[in-house]
Structures are given as structure tokens and as C-alpha cells.
Amino acid sequence: MGPVQMTAIDIAVVVCDYGGTLTTPEDPVDLVSGCRPVESTAAATLRLLHQRHLRLMLGSNNSATQNRRLALRRAGVEHLFTDVLTSEELGYGKPDPRFYAAVLNAAACPPEQVLFVGNNYRTDVAAPISHGMRAVLIRPHGRLIDGEELPIDHAQVISFPRLPAFLGERHAR
């Protein structure tokens, strides 16, 4: 049996990791923002999720030399995000429990309506699940590593642009 499909109606907020989720390692680092640029297909996916009335948040670790807001602005998608939570701004990052508490506080909805999407099993899947959120793991090669296991109502996709199809159609409220 295939994975249980989440419907967008179950999800109110999509929290995106940045590196490896919205970007690809093949792209060079932008010298102005200090970040790899948001991939064009990821930017299109963010616009589609926003059109489906899903709130978008960024939940990312970063260094002092990486300006995630500027990278999102340069990609033309910063305005789509209601909140940009970075480890540099908060003073703590993933997997610190305070990071996920900050995400849930900003989301202002029940944890089960928050979907965390990222490419790191420990920080983008296991930790959000332990805080009651749902999660989608991005794995380009489609493989879990030994010791990784996705609970039944969480899933994996091969790329961020596959997320809308996975979520299904959002019905009008």
C-alpha cells in the first residue's frame, strides 16, 4: 500500500527548510545573500502553495553570513512567507526544542495542521514529529538511510515541486 496522502485541507501552514529543500547543491552561492539561490521550480511551487491559501513559513538554520530573507527576496518569493524563522535571528536552531516551539508559536494553529518540509531526517522530520507536527522528507534519490523510518501519516517526496501533488487539491473554504 502507498503512503497516506495528506490533503491540503488538513494542513494550514507549510514550514519550509531552505538549503537542500528550496535550493540545489549544484547552484553556486550568491555572493550578496551568502545563500544558494531559490531554485526556479521551488519558487513556482511556493507560489502555487500560496495560491492554495496555505500559509508559508521558513524554518532554517543559517550562519551570520547567510541572509535567507534577502535570498527569498531575490527569488521574488519573500512576500509569500508570513514568517521567516532562522537560527541566526532566534539565537538557537534546529534541533533545539525552542526552535520548534517558536515555529508553533508563529504558526498559531494546532501542531497537527503544521507541515514541516525539509531534507534532513533528524531536524526536518523527527524533531517536528516529536512536537506534534506533520512532516515530509525530501530525498532526491528516494531512499531512507538506515535508522530512518517515516510514521504512517508522514511521507517523502523526491523534490519540493512534488509537494503540491502529494498534498492533493485544496478545496475552497
- Residue 33 is predicted with a pLDDT of 97
Q: Which residues of 112-127 are buried (b: 16+ CB within 10 A; e: fewer)?
A: ebbbbbbbbbebbbbb
pLDDT, average across residues 138-146? 78
- Residue 148 is predicted with a pLDDT of 77
Regarding predicted confidence, which is higher, 160 or 149?
160
Confidence of residue 30 (pLDDT cuts 50, 70, 90): very high
Could you give the 3-state DSSP secondary structure of residue 105? helix
Kindly report the backbone phi and psi dihedral angles of residue 106, in degrees, each rounded to the nearest multiple of 5, phi listed first. -70, -35
Q: pTM, whole model, 2 decimals?
A: 0.89
Taking only the tens place, the pLDDT of each residue in 50-75 is 999 999 999 999 999 999 999 999 99
Burial of residue 2 (CB within 10 Å: 0-12, 13-18, 19+) is exposed
Domains and CATH numbers, the chain: 8-167 (3.40.50.1000)
Q: Write out the three cell numbers for 45.
A: 511551487
Instruction: Collect all residues with Cβ–Cβ distance below 8 Å to 81 and sequence separation of at least 6.
Output: 56, 57, 58, 72
